[in-house]
Amino acid sequence: NRTATLDFLRAQNIIVENSAVHTPAQNGGTEVSGNIIKTKARAMRAGAKLAQYLWVEIYRCAVYLYNRTPKYIYNWRTPYERLHTFVARRDGVITEGRKPYQAHLR
């Protein structure tokens, strides 16, 4: 329900700014990150041979990994660190220094 969602966002003091119609370039970063998360989720499901009904948990895990993977454009900080004043716990995610070390791909 769109109205309920907008009411919730306003109650949280979140400003909703819609992009202009027929201008997909405005959504470029969002589309790219969404595609990365989708690709991670598909790879995890295929690699681990997980059942289709686990898709919600698989996507949550993909988002978790995306938010805790250091990025070059953020000076090897994570997206999580950009939003918070403290470093995210990396339980289960192995890193060497600040650059990503993808132990989960072994």
The residue extents of the domains of the chain are 30-105
79 in Cβ contact with 71 (< 8 Å): yes
pTM higher than 0.85 for the full model?
no
Q: What's the length of the chain?
A: 106
β 99-100/95-96 pair status: antiparallel
| Each residue's pLDDT expressed in tens, for the chain with a length of 106 residues | 789 999 999 999 999 888 888 887 888 888 888 899 999 999 999 999 999 999 999 999 999 999 888 888 888 888 888 887 666 666 665 555 555 545 554 4
According to DSSP, the residues that pair with 99 across neighbouring strands are 96
Instruction: Please answer whether residues 70 and 77 qualify as being in contact, where contact means their C-beta atoms are separated by less than 8 angstroms.
Output: yes
